[in-house]
Structure 1
Amino acid sequence: MSDSGLDAVKLDGAGPVYDQIRRAIRDLVLNGTWTPGTSVPPEHALMERLGASRMTVHRALVQLAREGLITRRRRSGTVVASPPASHAMLDILSIPDEVRQLGQDYAFEILSRRDGKPAAEVAALFELKRSEPIVHLVTRHLSSGQPHVLEERVIHLATVPAAADEPFETMPAGDWLLQHSLWSQAEHALSAVAAGAREAELLAIGRGEPCLLVERRTWNQSAPVTAVRLLYPGGRHRFVGRFGPYGQV
């Protein structure tokens, strides 16, 4: 890591020093300053930078590792951990992986994008405050050239500020978020809905045909990361989960 990376570790003066170090590094990870795979400064560098003892620095890093924010390796050093890719309730893969597992070619197209405060209808749909800065994306995912799923997503810029500068031209937003943000809680809801006129046109189905709506929200601690609505043509998809007495198998 560069000197500027080490300089970014700043203590706030509140509480035990080990917890100040933990919070300083945690915040750099959660706000995207240190992305997954970034090398964390070694203990001796943090000791010198912060004027802390080895035991104090070690305690902070151990706690961060327990929280899943960093990964400590004996030979290669400590790095920012990759966010988890599995999902609560249903093990829904990334949409590109979902398509490729079907043996189809994947592609996507962004139908619309708006950055800034949400429009009234978007705020109502996603239960947002009108003052919250977001990225609002509508994306159509394709399977061998045919509509696979229609995605409408909001990304909270207060939690993931890097999304403002990402064009999402080479990677869909969902996969980009898995690589560039962390989440600690997820909520899923499934429902059956009828396709409206525009939705039917975009999915190449008849108006009123049944669709499966997957709604997902993720948070990092108490801060919202993203909310997404995935509309699948009901006749083309089914979701299968296998469970044992202790959870998914």
Structure 2
Amino acid sequence: MSYTEMAGGMTTGKEATLHQRILSDIEGQIVSGAWPPGHRIPFELALAEQYDCSRMTVNKALTQLARAGLIERRKRSGSFVTHPLAQSAVLEIHDIESEVQSLNLPYSHKLVKRTERRDRPEDARRLQFAGSVPVLEISCIHYAGPRPFCLEDRVINLDAVPEAAKADFATLPPGPWLLNQVPWSTAEHQIRAISAEGEAAASLDVPKGTACLVVERRTWSSTGPITHVRLTYPGDRHSLVARFTPSS
């Protein structure tokens, strides 16, 4: 059952069949990316002619899609595919699954790489520590429906979190696992724009050169650095907003 089916009631008979067909067709165009955010949905009259049904049947389907958050209906303008919801606060540590669910899309993730090794100079820069420590390197792809939503590249300090060496990150992504496992005291975010190249472009299924938003985050506990994560989002699927007040 799709999320549009859960967002509203069903009709009966031929009308129910057409109603569900319209829902499935439009939902499929949106989830597949064929109709990107901002795309205008065909007008009710055009859809009624296309499906050989009443405008009331089309209206019910569009109302259900709007209730599910897939489209936005504007008076005298028509219906449009909704834009991704903005992240509410840059300085909070958010769960990617919750971000995807806020878009009314099903979440999944795939563990692409997991390597336990000694640290390298790049790891010392990312984790900001001196000396040598064992690290766990992880790469995951997070999905919103069938489309890649975010590429996660993470390094975990195994001296600080030795339990991570045995954790099953194919079942539970490392972000929520770490939040439940290790209390953090300090976090730092860096946000920048890049052009997707090579592995990142392939993982996110976007053309090379696509504008992407990168959020890098370091976290520390009272005993030292815990993890550094680099989250890469296709630029047209994510935005970040911070709300703040003047300092005294």
| Same fold per superposition (TM over 0.5) | yes
Q: Residue 214 of structure 1 corresponds to which residue in structure 2? A: 215
User: What is the CA–CA distance in structure 2 between the aligned matches of 1:198 and 1:207, rounded to whole Å?
Assistant: 10
User: What is the CA–CA distance in structure 1 between the aligned matches of 2:184 and 2:89, rounded to whole Å?
Assistant: 12
Matches within 5 A, 1:61-210: 89-119=90-120, 131-210=132-211
Measured after TM superposition, the shift of residue 214 of structure 1 is 0.4
Counterparts in 2 of 1:123 and 1:208: CA distance versus 1, 3 Å: farther
Measured after TM superposition, the shift of residue 206 of structure 1 is 1.2
Query: Structure 1 length normalisation: TM-score?
Result: 0.59
Q: What's the secondary structure of 2:201's corresponding residue?
A: helix
CA contact (8 A) 1:118 1:130 kept: no
Measured after TM superposition, the shift of residue 131 of structure 1 is 2.7
Measured after TM superposition, the shift of residue 169 of structure 1 is 2.4
Q: What's the secondary structure of 2:169's corresponding residue?
A: coil
CA contact (8 A) 2:89 2:241 kept: no
CA contact (8 A) 1:91 1:241 kept: no
Larger Rg: 2
Measured after TM superposition, the shift of residue 201 of structure 1 is 1.1
User: What is the CA–CA distance in structure 2 between the aligned matches of 1:173 and 1:123, rounded to whole Å?
Assistant: 20
User: What is the CA–CA distance in structure 2 between the aligned matches of 1:173 and 1:142, rounded to whole Å?
Assistant: 15
Query: Structure 2 length normalisation: TM-score?
Result: 0.59
Structure 1 counterpart of 2:100, one-letter code: V
Give me the identity figure in percent: 40
Structure 2 counterpart of 1:172, one-letter code: P
Counterparts in 2 of 1:104 and 1:246: CA distance versus 1, 3 Å: farther
Alpha carbon RMSD of aligned pairs, Å?
Answer: 2.4
Q: Mind listing any 5+ residue stretches in structure 1 that lack a counterpart?
A: 1-86
Counterparts in 2 of 1:88 and 1:132: CA distance versus 1, 3 Å: farther
Matches within 5 A, 1:6-25: none
Q: Residue 234 of structure 2 corresponds to which residue in structure 1? A: 233
Q: Residue 41 of structure 1 corresponds to which residue in structure 2? A: none
Counterparts in 2 of 1:88 and 1:240: CA distance versus 1, 3 Å: closer
Q: What's the secondary structure of 1:244's corresponding residue?
A: coil
Counterparts in 2 of 1:219 and 1:127: CA distance versus 1, 3 Å: closer
Structure 1 counterpart of 2:161, one-letter code: V
Larger relative contact order (CA 8 Å, sep ≥ 6) = 2
Measured after TM superposition, the shift of residue 236 of structure 1 is 1.4
Structure 2 counterpart of 1:105, one-letter code: P
User: What is the CA–CA distance in structure 1 between the aligned matches of 2:209 and 2:128, rounded to whole Å?
Assistant: 25
Q: What's the secondary structure of 2:141's corresponding residue?
A: strand
CA contact (8 A) 1:117 1:130 kept: no
Measured after TM superposition, the shift of residue 242 of structure 1 is 2.7
CA contact (8 A) 2:111 2:140 kept: yes
